[in-house]
Chain A
Amino acid sequence: DAGVIQSPRHEVTEMGQEVTLRCKPISGHDYLFWYRQTMMRGLELLIYFNNNVPIDDSGMPEDRFSAKMPNASFSTLKIQPSEPRDSAVYFCASSFSVAKNIQYFGAGTRLSVL
């Protein structure tokens, strides 16, 4: 099993630019989660999907953030326009509702906005 795959692993961009983070969940998993990790705030849930449908986006910081899941094997998190305070590690995780819903994480994307 390939696990959750995120790309890119590292992203450096300038303030005001659009950033798109990508995630491929584990095949067969029906939940997908996007998290953000910073030193100040720890690990925060941004949004999660069930069967490709967004269920709870209350953690999305503001309208500059958007997430989509067009199919069961792909999701994106977009920041437009990016700001320096968006610098963080962004994790994608997936889980299978029948199997205790244990979340398996991707390796993360380290985003630096200059």
Chain B
Amino acid sequence: AQKITQTQPGMFVQEKEAVTLDCTYDTSDQSYGLFWYKQPSSGEMIFLIYQGSYDEQNATEGRYSLNFQKARKSANLVISASQLGDSAMYFCAMREVYNNNDMRFGAGTRLTVKP
């Protein structure tokens, strides 16, 4: 069964600094996708970044980058130059391409950006 582990229930970062949110996953499949979502206090789930298991380059989207280490089965999210608006819950998720296409989420990390 798929398993997504986010070991940091809460993280604090100073405004304008970088922060790394950890995510490890467990799968025996070779083809899968990794996702990060942001959930602010308003409740919506916002897609941030995607990494495919066959992608050789780490994904980047603006201030977000995904540190993908396939052998270690980790997919950490790096947020550079943190802003107050980055304070939110962050969820890591994985979808196995050939396993019914469903997606499993980690428990989330609550990030607080301090001014």
Contact = CB atoms under 8 A, between A and B. Distances in A.
B12 interface: no
Interface residues of A, number: 22
A31 B107 CA distance: 24
Contact of A100 (B52, B105, B106, B107): B52
A73 interface: no
B50 A105 contact: no
Contact of A103 (B43, B103, B108): B103
B47 A103 contact: yes
Interface in B72-115: 91, 95, 100-108
A108 B44 contact: yes
A102 interface: yes
Given A42-B108, A43-B105, A100-B33, A56 B100 contact: yes
The listed residue with most B CB atoms (<10 A of its CB), out of A43, A93, A105, A106, is A43
Interface string B43-81: 111110010100000000000000000000000000000
B104 A45 contact: yes
A43 B102 contact: no
Contact of B47 (A43, A48, A89, A104): A104
Interface of A: 31, 33, 42-43, 45, 48, 50, 55-56, 89, 91, 93, 100-108, 110
Given A43-B91, A45-B102, A55-B100, 6 more contacts: A33-B103, A93-B45, A100-B52, A102-B50, A105-B46, A105-B47
